């Protein structure tokens, strides 16, 4: 799933709310999305706020509020004040385990950076991001990683034990796992 299309979303339900997070995102991005979607869930905002049109862009008070809360949780104002004078943007991002984009936006929102500085940093980061995405060329993913990611480890162990105890044949085990011999061996390696 393309990160440009979605990073995550929440399906609000009183009995079983669900948060979806794009696994292609960085770990820091996934944490940001999790906190962001949790705030949405706590607000149950669909019935409270409406989107407001403002000049040439769409201003959404819910998103604005959710982003402010998420930023305060991940990069508390008092902590960033503590480190701002001694660390540069990259070091701050590492310290708080967030992206440079989050740090720059947080500094801007806290009036620790001018609009002009903010625009210059964002332009630089977008250029860096574009260069990195151009360098990344994929041949379709890594078979072993994908296989181990999509398969439940306890289930693989259960199948392995059933095969070893002669309760099922190798062929039956392969069919249950949806793999061949090579895939089965890869799953066993990934389970150890």
At 4, the pLDDT band (50, 70, 90 cuts) reads low
- Does this model's pTM top 0.75? My answer is no
**pLDDT one-digit tens code per residue, 140-159:** 566 677 777 777 788 888 88
Q: What is the mean pLDDT of residues 100-108?
A: 91
Chain centre distance of CA 68: 18
- pLDDT of 28 > 80? The answer is yes
Structure tokens at 30: 């996934």
Containing 54, the helix (H) or strand (E) segment is strand 52-54
């Amino acid at each position: 799933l393309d990160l440009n299309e979605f990073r995550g979303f929440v399906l609000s339900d009183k009995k079983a709310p669900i948060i979806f997070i794009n696994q292609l995102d960085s770990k820091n991005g996934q944490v940001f999305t999790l906190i962001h979607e949790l705030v949405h869930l706590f607000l149950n905002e669909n019935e409270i706020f409406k989107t407001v049109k403002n000049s040439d862009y769409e201003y959404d008070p819910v998103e604005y509020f959710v982003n402010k809360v998420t930023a305060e949780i991940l990069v508390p104002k008092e902590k960033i004040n503590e480190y701002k004078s001694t660390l540069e943007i990259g070091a701050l991002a590492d310290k708080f385990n967030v992206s440079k984009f989050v740090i720059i936006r947080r500094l801007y929102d806290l009036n620790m950076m001018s609009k002009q500085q903010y625009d210059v940093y964002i332009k630089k980061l977008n250029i860096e991001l574009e260069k990195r995405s151009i360098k990344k060329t994929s041949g379709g993913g890594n078979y072993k990683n994908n296989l181990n990611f999509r398969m439940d480890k306890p289930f693989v162990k259960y199948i392995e034990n059933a095969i070893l105890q002669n309760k099922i044949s190798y062929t039956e085990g392969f069919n249950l796992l949806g793999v061949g011999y090579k895939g089965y061996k890869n799953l066993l390696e990934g389970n150890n």
